[in-house]
Chains A and B, each alone.
Chain A
C-alpha cells in the first residue's frame, strides 16, 4: 500500500515534469540567444529572462526521493508547475516586447486579455464595463511597459496595474453616477408629442378661431405665407395679390392675431 503511494507520487511528479517540458521547449525556441541588432538594455533584459528560464528549468528537474505523503505533495506541485511556466512565459514575452518584438507583444496581450477580463468581472457586472476596464488596463500597461523589470515576476506587476485601474474606474463611475439621474418611463413620456396632443389641438383650434375673425385678405395672406409656408412669389401667384400687399396684409394679420389671442388668454 505504502509502496503504491510512493509509486503514484513518483509517477505524478514525473508526469508533471514531462507535461511542463514541451512548454519550456517552445519558450526556449523563441528566445534569440544571440542577436547583433540588440542594444545594451535589450540584451540585459533578455539575458535576465534566460537566467530566469534556466532557474525555472532547474526548479523542474525530477527528484526521485522516497517521501512520505508524496502523492499529495506531487499533486500540489503539478498544479503550481502548471502556473509557473505561464508566468515565466509572460515574463519572457514582455522582455521581448520591451525590445520591440511585435509578435511577442501581440501574443502576450492576447494571453493576458482573458485573465484581465476575469479580474474585471470581479468589479463589474456589465459586459461593456468589463471590456472598457480591460482596454483601460491594456492601454496603461502599454504606456508604462518600460517600468517592468524582466528579473521580477510578471504577475504581480500586471495585477497591480489592473487593480489600480479597476479601482480608479470604480471611483470615477461612482462620481459620475452621483451626478446623474437615470431616465425613467415618465421622463421619456412627457416630451412625446402624442402625450401633449390635447394641448396642441386646443392651441390649433384657438389659432384657427382667431384667423376666422380676420378680414378675408389678411386671412388669405396668413394662410398662404405662415400656415402653408409659401414664399412671397408663390403666394402672390396663388392669390393674385402683389408682393407688397401680401407683406402688408401679413403684418396686419400677425398684429391682429396677437391682440385676439392675448385677449382670449386673459379671459
Chain B
C-alpha cells in the first residue's frame, strides 16, 4: 500500500494546470441556452401546435408553461449550485415554488390518450408522437447535464442527478405544451422522475461507477 507522503509526492509531481469552472449561475445559463436551442430546433422540425395563439389566452395554460419553465430554470441553477462541494444543500429548495405551481396545474389526458381506439381499429395516438418529442428533448438535455456536472460523481451523485432530472422535466414539459395539443404533464413527470428515480437508485447502488465514463476518477496519474 502506498503511504500518504508517497501519494502526495505522486500527485504533486508535474501537476498540470487546470481550467477552473465558471460561476455556477453562468454554467446554468449556458445549459438553459442549450435547452432553448433544442426547443428552437424542435419548433422548426415539428412546428408549434395549431391552437397555440388561442390557448395562450388561457391563464391555466400560461401558468402551467410558466411553472414548468421556471422549474426547469431554477432546478438547473440548483443542480449547478449543489454539484459544487462547498455550496449549501438549501439550494435544492430553489425550484420548489415553481414546481408547486406546475404540479397544481397538472393534467392526465396524455395517459388516457396513449392509444386511440377507433372503429377501424387501434393505432398509435398523439401520445406516441409526444413521447418521441419527449425523448428528443430530454435525452440531449440529460446528457448535457450529466457531462456538465460530472465532477459531482464522488460528492453528491444522487442529489444532483435528481435535481438535474427535474430541470430536464421542466423543459420537456414546455416543449410538449408548445408542440402538441395534448396535456402530457403527468407522463413527463412519470417519465422524467421515473428515470431520475432509476438514475438515483443506480447512482446510490453503484456510486461513482455510474459516472465512470464521464466523471473524474480519483486515481493517481490522471489529470482532469
Contacts and interface: CB of A to CB of B under 8 A. Distances in A.
Contacts of B12: 102-103, 105-106, 109
Given A102-B15, A105-B11, A134 B85 contact: no
B224 A143 contact: yes
B149 to A, nearest CB: 10
Nearest to A109: B8
Nearest to A95: B20
Interface in B1-60: 1-5, 7-9, 11-21, 23
Given A105-B11, A157-B85, A144 B20 contact: no
A136 B217 CA distance: 11
Given A106-B12, A165-B154, A147 B21 contact: yes
A92 interface: no
Contacts of A164: 85, 154-156
B121 interface: no
B179 interface: no
A135 interface: yes
Contact residues on B (Cβ < 8 Å of other chain), bracket: 35 or more
Interface string A150-192: 1011001100110011001000100000000000000000000
Interface string B182-216: 00000000000000000000000001000000001
A145 interface: yes
Contact of B20 (A98, A113, A136): A98
Contacts of A153: 86
A131 interface: yes
Nearest to B24: A149
B8 A146 contact: no
A138 B20 contact: no
Contacts of B16: 100
A113 B156 CA distance: 23
Nearest to A41: B19
Contacts of A148: 20
B171 interface: no
Given A146-B19, A149-B20, A109 B151 contact: no
B8 A145 contact: no
Given A110-B8, A138-B8, A139-B220, A102 B21 contact: no
A144 B224 contact: yes
A147 B148 CA distance: 12
Given A99-B17, A100-B16, A138 B85 contact: no
Contact of A160 (B7, B9, B155): B155
A128 B4 CA distance: 11
A142 interface: yes
A172 B204 CA distance: 11
Contacts of B112: none
- Residue among A113, A136, A139, A165 facing the most chain B CB atoms (10 A cut-off): A139
A102 B13 contact: yes
B85 A100 contact: no
Contact of B86 (A100, A152, A168): A152
Contact of A109 (B11, B156, B219): B11
Given A105-B12, A147-B85, 4 more contacts: A135-B2, A138-B8, A152-B86, A164-B85
20 contacts: A42-B17, A45-B20, A106-B12, A110-B8, A128-B1, A131-B4, A139-B7, A139-B11, A139-B219, A146-B19, A146-B21, A146-B224, A147-B84, A150-B20, A153-B86, A156-B86, A160-B85, A164-B85, A165-B154, A172-B207
Interface of A: 39, 41-42, 45, 97-103, 105-106, 109-110, 113, 128, 131, 134-136, 138-140, 142-150, 152-153, 156-157, 160-161, 164-165, 168, 172
Which 7 A-B pairs rank lowest in CB-CB distance, beginning with the nearest?
A100-B17, A106-B12, A139-B218, A160-B85, A143-B216, A157-B86, A146-B18
